[in-house]
Amino acid sequence: DALNLVSRMENVHDGAGVWRVALLKDAVKIVSAGFNMKVAITDVSKGIRVLNVPTASTGFVRDLDVTADGQYFVTCDEDDVVAVFQASTGAMVWDCVGGHGGVPAMTCAVFAADDDDFMADIVVTAGLDRRVTVHNTRRGITLFTKEDMLGHCTCVAISPHLLRVAHVTELGASVVDADTGLELASFQLPNCISVCFASKQLLVVVTRDGLVC
C-alpha cells in the first residue's frame, strides 16, 4: 500500500532542522529535538507546535525517548545532562549532570520498555566516554556504570522486564545484566549502528552496511 502524508509540520524548531523525534502514546503528539538546541511537542493532527520544553542546559540534544505510557520523556545532550520531563506540561522532574564525566556528545538514552511503574523509572545512557550508565530516576541513584572497551557506544536497548541491557559500538555489541552490569555476552561486528530486543532472549543488531542479525 502507498504511504499517505498524514500531517506536515513546518518551523517546529524555528526553521532549524530536526535531529530526533518520538511519538507519544496517544499518536496525536510528537516530541522532537532540533538543531536550535530546543525540544518541542507538536500536535500532529493540527500540525502546530503546542509546547516549547525548557531543557536542562544549552547543549545540543543528541537523543530522546518516551516511556511506554507516554507520560514522560528523557533527553541527553552534549553538556552531559540527562533529564526526564512530563510530556503533558514539559516540566522537568529529574536530571543528572556529569553522569559521563563531563564528556560531551552523549549518544543515546532509553526508558525500560515496560508498563510497570518501577521499570519506567529506569534510564540507560551512553556517551563518547565509552561508558554505559543505568539510572533509577525515582530513587535518584546510579545503579551501575560499565565501560565498553570495544569503542564509543552508538545505541542502547533494554530488554522486557529489565533483565538485560544491550549496547553497540562501531566494532561490536555487548549484553550485560541490568542489575549488576555483569557482561553476559559480546561479539565483534563492524559498523554497528542500532540495537533492539525482539524478545527477552532475541537481540537484533543493524550495521551501516545494511546487515541485520
pLDDT at 119: 45
Nearest in space to 30 (alpha carbons), one of 55, 49, 10, 4: 49
**How many residues in total does the chain contain?**
213
DSSP 98-146: STTTT-S---EEEE-S-SSTTGGGEEEEE-TTSEEEEEETTTTEEEEEE
Helix, strand, coil percentages for the chain (3-state, nearest 5): 5, 50, 50
pLDDT at 31: 92
pLDDT at 120: 53
pLDDT at 56: 64
- 197 to each of 53, 92, 171, 204, how far by Cα in Å? 30, 28, 19, 6
pLDDT at 189: 84
pLDDT at 156: 83
pTM for this predicted structure: 0.81
pLDDT at 71: 82
pLDDT at 131: 82
What residues of the chain score a pLDDT lower than 50? 1, 113, 115, 117-119
